[in-house]
Amino acid sequence: MFAGLDHVGVAVRDLEQTIELYKNILGFQIGERHVLTERKVKVAFISSGGETQIELLEPLSSDSTIGKFLDSRGEGLHHIAVKVKDIKTVLDQLKQKGATLIDDTPRQGAEGKLIAFVHPKTTKGVLLELVQES
């Protein structure tokens, strides 16, 4: 069903400050940056050189999903994203098995990939993102 880990999402209050920390202190490479106005979030992808990335997420407003997350839980792990070959099929399989889905149908993510989220109720408190290369 899953083809590996795509990325780990981390909610942060200050994207630029966090990028500098990961770049200058930890030695990570800085990749693509995106502003997703419809989701009220800025993102930056960073890497240690391998396939799996870290997605840093800064809210554009306090009423965004990431803003609410930061208010209730603070900075830190927001989600784990796994690669899938056929996101629609995986969503159907998960639904048939009783998983609670946030997205019944895929939508476009930050890097132009199709994404969908599985509710943390299903995964013992971890928000799971499904990612299909488009």
> CB–CB of 97/114 below 8 Å?
no
Q: Which domain holds residue 31?
A: 5-132
Q: What is the token pair recorded at 2? A: 């899953």
- Looking at the structure of the chain, the number of domains it has is 1
- In whole angstroms, give the CA distance from residue 82 to residue 61: 27
Instruction: Label the pairing between strands 53-59 and 5-11.
Output: parallel
CATH number (domain holding residue 73): 3.10.180.10
Q: What is the mean pLDDT of each run of 10 residues along the chain (134 residues)?
A: 93 97 95 94 93 95 96 97 97 97 94 94 96 83
> CB–CB of 9/80 below 8 Å?
yes
Residue 71 CA, chain-centre distance (Å), reads 18
CB-based contacts of 30, cutoff 8 Å, min separation 6? 19, 22, 23, 44, 46
What's the pTM value of the predicted model, to 2 decimals?
0.91
